[in-house]
Amino acid sequence: MARLVVVFVALTIASSAVAAPSSGFEQVVQLYSAEGSESCGPKLSIETPHCKIEARKNGYELRKYPEGQVWVETLVANSSYSAAVSVGFYRLFYYISGKNEKGEVIEMTAPVLVHPYEERGGYKVSFYAPSRFKSHKDLPKPMDKNVKFLVTKEHTYAVSGPFGGFPTEPDYEKRLKALKEALDKDDVEYNGEKVYYAGYSSPFEFVNRKQEVHLLTK
């Protein structure tokens, strides 16, 4: 049931996107049709973050991401996974759909990251800011005080995936457990608190969906 709720919410949000006069479906297609670029992870028609693949191992790969990448994020505290994904997606999607100080529509990117945040009993949900924004200062300021900017330092993720379907949190946790076991076997150190569930597929994709689990290495 949780899967259906998340998908329904995503579809509802997408159909209300703000763009040039056209049908709701066409508006979302426009947001998802940004020109692709060379990047790590699944190959899509929308932009994904650049990185360098350092190694491919049995069951995972190591990706190094450069410093200075900008993410738009929101914390949904004291929340279940399904509720946090719904609320977080709403906040961020409204921001890129024009709910910002400039009324600017920002193209959709991938992945959408969901980070379990135990300190506040909830989750952080993040969108990658298109690389045309060279700094967080170039982005329009959010009108929602719950929407923040994050500028990353150089870091390396161990990544499991991609895998398909509409995974729930237990599905992601199962993948995470297998990833940790593979890293332990290879003596790769990691930060068990820095876990990210990465979704690359639009709400309109019901087959050949792509998700990953990211775990920060030390």
Question: 184-202, pLDDT tens digit by residue?
Answer: 999 999 999 999 999 999 8
Q: Which residues contact 153 (CB under 8 A, 6 or more apart)?
A: 67
Q: 135: burial class by Cβ within 10 Å (0-12, 13-18, 19+)?
A: exposed
Q: What is the pLDDT of residue 48?
A: 95
- Token output for 192: 């068990």
* Residue 59 pLDDT greater than 50, yes or no: yes
pLDDT band at 37 (very low <50, low <70, confident <90, very high): very low
DSSP string, 16-57: T---SSS-HHHHHHHHT-PPP-S-SSS--SS-----EEEEEE
Instruction: State how far Cα 134 lies from the chain centre.
Output: 19
Q: What span, in angstroms and rounded, lies between the C-alpha atoms of 209 and 201?
A: 6
* Highest mean pLDDT pick, 36-40, 93-97, 204-208: 93-97
Q: What span, in angstroms and rounded, lies between the C-alpha atoms of 47 and 96?
A: 14
- Report helix, strand or coil for 93: helix
Q: What span, in angstroms and rounded, lies between the C-alpha atoms of 178 and 71?
A: 27
Residue with tokens 């199962």: 174
Mean pLDDT of 98-124: 96
Tell me the β-bridge partners of 197. Answer: 114, 213
Tell me the β-bridge partners of 212. Answer: 198
Sheet containing strand 190-199, edge to edge, reads 52-57, 60-65, 155-163, 211-217, 190-199, 112-117, 122-128, 70-76, 147-151
Number of helices and strands in the chain (H, E) = 4, 9
Listed residue (6, 27, 7, 30) closest to 17, CA to CA: 27
pTM: 0.82
What mean pLDDT value characterizes the chain?
A: 85
Q: What is the pLDDT of residue 146?
A: 98
* Residue 22 pLDDT greater than 80, yes or no: no
Residues in the chain, total: 218
Mean pLDDT of 160-188: 97
